[in-house]
Amino acid sequence: MLAIYILVSSIISLLRTRPTPEIWGYFLVEDGGNFPLTHWENVIGRSKSADIMIPLKTVSKNQVILCRREDERWMIKDLGSKNGTVVNGVPLVPEKRYIVDVGDEIVISGVHCTIAPASLEEAANNRAMRKGDREPVAPWKILLAITAFQAMTIVQLTMALGSDITATVVLSMVALCVIMWVYVSVFKALGRKGFEMEMIAFFMTTINLAVTTSARPGDTFKQLVAMVIGIALMIFMCIYMRDLKRTRKIRPILLGLSVLLLLFNLVFGTMKYGAANWVRIGSMTIQPSEVVKLAFIVIGAGTLEELYEKRNTILYAAFSLFCLGCLALMGDFGTALIFFATYLVVSFLRSGDLSRMILTVVGAAAMGLMVLRFETYIASRFAIWGHVWDDPADKGFQQTRTMAFGAGGGLLGHGAGNGSLKYVAASDTDLVFGFVMEEWGLIIAVLLVLCLVTLTIFAVISIIAGRSTFYTIAACGAATMILVQTMLNIFGAVDLFPLTGVTFPFISTGGTSMMASWAMLSFFKASDMRRNASLALRKEE
């Protein structure tokens, strides 16, 4: 009941408190009407996909882009149109930026246009509507519910594990509770609202620590440390992404570091469950591909201006191919699928070219068949797919046990620490959905999935009032990664898809996975346009 209250309250609040799109001005077209400028970045052209469509044959499909700057002036850039663009009698040089002010004459392929400001009344109305937006749910009741849930979890784990539970485990759970309260209290004092995403993440982290304690009590504190690093990274990324100029400058550095990490993984990687995607450093093991996921999204996202620069598109495609190639050499088929799905979504959002996406899918399918032909390990995973009950003692051992023990948990589960699946290899990572079903029940397991689906829906909704395509593409890219990763984990565990060895975000044991999951939350926070809800936006008075 606590879990239902916590998660359903957060989900409903996150989806119902949508920001009101603001009108920044009007684009007036001679004999063509007035178009409200509700986005910071706008494409003007003949194409139906353009933000401002001028249905004349003389106008190029994508003629110019018009972007609002931080100082509230406008930047215009011709995209290499056939008939050109003229501002105040001066022809624009293609691909070069120009500043235009309210009232300037803009001639687009012979069509006279201008920018008109929003009226004072309309500007005041915009501010009033923003202030009148439905407020996100207050965090305090949910925090109390999570705290009660955590306290009951400690009691249940103590009863189930007895002498196996240590003071370190209990202190780790208590520390999680303290960190949660400190985080919300500090940012609430700074005038922030909208903590639904963090509430979901803190609840899922609670389940993660319980799963870790049940399966391997000695790693609970490590998971807590990974969570703290992940939260710090999320906050840093949110604040850093406030300035898109700064974010663009760091891309080459992220690209270089990602290449080095993957090459380092190829050379020093350790084989684990058929894939050499782990690197051991002393007593620690890290998964470089989890870190590269974050860079992959930042490099793939871009402002509207950048999306029309072929150099950026080619660079992202080359980087994606490099990542997929490295993952193929590591034998990490699951992560390669996640990267590829994200590449498809980001590429489509960048170009809107469906035919290009279809060609990419066909090419990837052909490459996938080659991988299956020459990679014995991957081929064996596909060979047992759909037939795990034919060989439950060997090749189908993991999945049959997952389904049997998971089903045995029923709706409410046997209780934290009381499961038997934890004695099966990879039960707390690749098979963790069955682990949660057995110990926590089907209801909580389904709620956890709905939480991640909600983040995906939120990312799509954010497109409507997004400040920049960078934030919306980044959020949709992160949503794709999380959703596909969750699907592969769950479907692989219950034999609806071959077992690919990927983790369940926030839930599976693993420090690198936990850090990446929390850091990934920054992309959703950056796309959150609700008033004072996002750390990536400066506070409004």
DSSP 165-181: --HHHHHHHHHHHHHHH
Residue with tokens 């201006």: 305
Cβ neighbours for 351, distance < 8 A, ≥ 6 positions apart: 307, 313
Residue with tokens 């707390």: 428
Order of strands across the sheet that contains 284-286: 269-272, 275-281, 284-286
Tokens describing residue 338: 């996640």
Domain boundaries, the chain: 26-130, 139-526
Identify the helix (H) or strand (E) that includes residue 106: strand 105-108
What span, in angstroms and rounded, lies between the C-alpha atoms of 416 and 444? 12
What span, in angstroms and rounded, lies between the C-alpha atoms of 124 and 435? 54
Contact between 499 and 425 under an 8 Å Cβ cutoff? The reply is no
Residue with tokens 């501002």: 87
Q: Which amino acid is at 212?
A: T
pLDDT computed for residue 124 by the predictor: 64
pLDDT computed for residue 437 by the predictor: 95
418-423-426-429 Cα dihedral, nearest 10 degrees: 10
Pick the closest to residue 300 from 316, 319, 322, 318 (CA basis).
316
Largest CA distance in the chain: 83
pLDDT computed for residue 379 by the predictor: 66
Tokens describing residue 128: 């009033």
The total number of residues written for the chain in this structure: 541
Task: Extract the runs of DSSP E, i.e. beta strands, from 311-362.
Answer: none
Please provide the DSSP assignment of 65-77 as one string.
EEEE-TTS-EEEE
Task: Extract the runs of DSSP E, i.e. beta strands, from 310-444.
Answer: none
Residue with tokens 């609002």: 68
Residue with tokens 């469950």: 273
* Residue 480: burial class (beta carbons within 10 Å; 0-12, 13-18, 19+): buried
Terminal Cα-to-Cα distance of the chain (whole angstroms): 38
Q: Which amino acid is at 342?
A: T
Contact between 298 and 477 under an 8 Å Cβ cutoff? The reply is no
Cβ neighbours for 378, distance < 8 A, ≥ 6 positions apart: 331, 333, 371, 372
Rounded to a whole number of angstroms, the CA Rg of the chain reads 25
Give the CA distances from residue 390 to residues 144, 343, 384, 395, in Å, rounded to whole numbers and listed in that order: 48, 36, 9, 9
Alpha carbons within 13 angstroms on the beta-carbon side of residue 161 total: 26
pLDDT computed for residue 214 by the predictor: 92
pLDDT tens per residue, the chain (541 residues)?
999 999 999 988 888 876 666 778 888 888 777 888 878 888 888 888 788 888 888 888 888 898 888 777 899 998 888 888 999 988 998 878 899 988 889 998 888 899 888 776 666 666 665 555 667 788 899 999 999 999 999 999 999 988 888 899 999 999 999 999 999 999 988 888 888 899 999 999 999 999 999 998 888 999 999 999 999 999 999 888 888 888 888 888 999 999 999 998 888 877 666 666 777 777 778 888 889 999 999 998 887 777 777 777 778 888 888 888 888 888 788 888 898 888 888 888 877 555 566 556 656 665 665 565 556 666 666 777 878 888 888 888 888 999 999 999 999 999 988 989 999 888 888 899 999 999 999 999 999 999 999 988 888 887 776 778 888 899 999 999 999 999 999 998 888 888 888 899 999 998 899 999 999 999 998 888 777 776 766 655 4
Please provide the DSSP assignment of 497-519 as one string.
S----PPPTTTSS-HHHHHHHHH
pLDDT computed for residue 541 by the predictor: 42
Identify the helix (H) or strand (E) that includes residue 255: helix 244-268
DSSP-derived 3-state class of residue 116: strand
Bridge-based pairing state of the strands 105-108 and 111-116? antiparallel
Contact between 429 and 417 under an 8 Å Cβ cutoff? The reply is no
Pick the closest to residue 434 from 423, 223, 164, 516 (CA basis).
423
Q: Which residues of 176-204 are buried (b: 16+ CB within 10 A; e: fewer)?
A: bbebbbebbeebeeeebbbbbbbbbbbbb
Identify the helix (H) or strand (E) that includes residue 277: strand 275-281
Cross-strand partners of 34 = 28
Contact between 297 and 478 under an 8 Å Cβ cutoff? The reply is yes
pLDDT computed for residue 80 by the predictor: 83
Alpha carbons within 13 angstroms on the beta-carbon side of residue 61 total: 5
pLDDT computed for residue 56 by the predictor: 85
pLDDT computed for residue 297 by the predictor: 93
Q: Which CATH number fits domain 26-130: 3.20.20.70, 1.20.1340.10, 2.60.200.20, 3.40.50.12780?
A: 2.60.200.20
Contact between 195 and 9 under an 8 Å Cβ cutoff? The reply is no
Give the CA distances from residue 442 to residues 205, 418, 435, in Å, rounded to whole numbers and listed in that order: 18, 15, 10
37-43-49-52 Cα dihedral, nearest 10 degrees: 40
